[in-house]
A = this chain, B = another copy of it.
Amino acid sequence: MKTAAVPADDQIDVSTQSIRDSIRDAIVDRRLAPGTKLSEADVGALFNVSRTLVRGALQALAYEGLVNVEKNRGAFVAYPLPEEARQIFATRRLIEPGILREAAKHMGPSHLQHLRQLLTEEGRLMAERGQSARRAEIKASGDFHLMLASMTGNAVMQRFMDELVARSSLVIALYGQSAISSCGHQEHQDIVTAIESGDLDRACHLMIHHIDHIEADLDMRENKGSDLREAFKL
């Protein structure tokens, strides 16, 4: 059976952590499709490490919800079910307004500039063509939310958001319809504008609607991916 295609760094010294990050990036960047099997031996061969380290990385990713490990069968890139997807977005709606307010508290002019900078980059990527620009655009879109989380100065929240954004990316990969909601970029801008003008209530309002829009763009009818095992076993 064909098994993952993971970016193969050659010769470079790798640790469990770096393997985890590489696979994570590959999943979030959608270079690894949901459901793809991640064979311990194969991944180990790609990184020139033993299964021991690969197992550690896969277990960590399982904890983040990015891969499922099935006993005696192996690890697979997570294939979030619609219900799971709903829970992820429900959690984001619950958390992100609070993050926004908390971030705003600590925000200075330089922070705002960083945000604007990110938005500029996001807009630039939207103009470009090609799959790699598309991927970069999706990543940048997630980075907006992550940057807000980092501005809270709260490492716990930041980690929660890391996980939520990563899993969201997986959900969008599975159920997303429109190439990308290009309105997302506009909504990001509106949120920053609201923050700048000091209208946090409005910013939070916009944020919630923004998340709603992302979720509304999904088509979560079952069996989109036709993975029969997933469809029946869970």
| Residues of A bordering B, CB below 8 Å | 52, 55-56, 59-60, 63, 65, 84, 87-88, 90-91, 94-95, 98-99, 102, 154-157, 160, 164
Contacts and interface: CB of A to CB of B under 8 A. Distances in A.
A69 to B, nearest CB: 11
A221 B59 CA distance: 37
Given A59-B60, A63-B60, A63-B63, A94 B84 contact: no
Contacts of A91: 154, 156-157, 160
A164 B91 CA distance: 15
A90 B60 contact: no
15 contacts: A52-B52, A55-B56, A59-B60, A60-B63, A65-B156, A84-B156, A87-B154, A87-B155, A87-B156, A88-B156, A90-B157, A94-B95, A94-B99, A95-B98, A160-B160
Given A65-B156, A84-B155, A90-B157, 13 more contacts: A55-B56, A56-B56, A59-B59, A84-B156, A87-B155, A88-B156, A90-B156, A91-B157, A94-B95, A94-B98, A94-B102, A95-B95, A160-B160
A118 to B, nearest CB: 23
Contacts of A52: 52
A164 B154 CA distance: 13
Nearest to A60: B63
A90 B99 CA distance: 10
A90 B152 CA distance: 10
A154 B154 CA distance: 23
Contacts of A155: 84, 87
A94 B59 contact: no
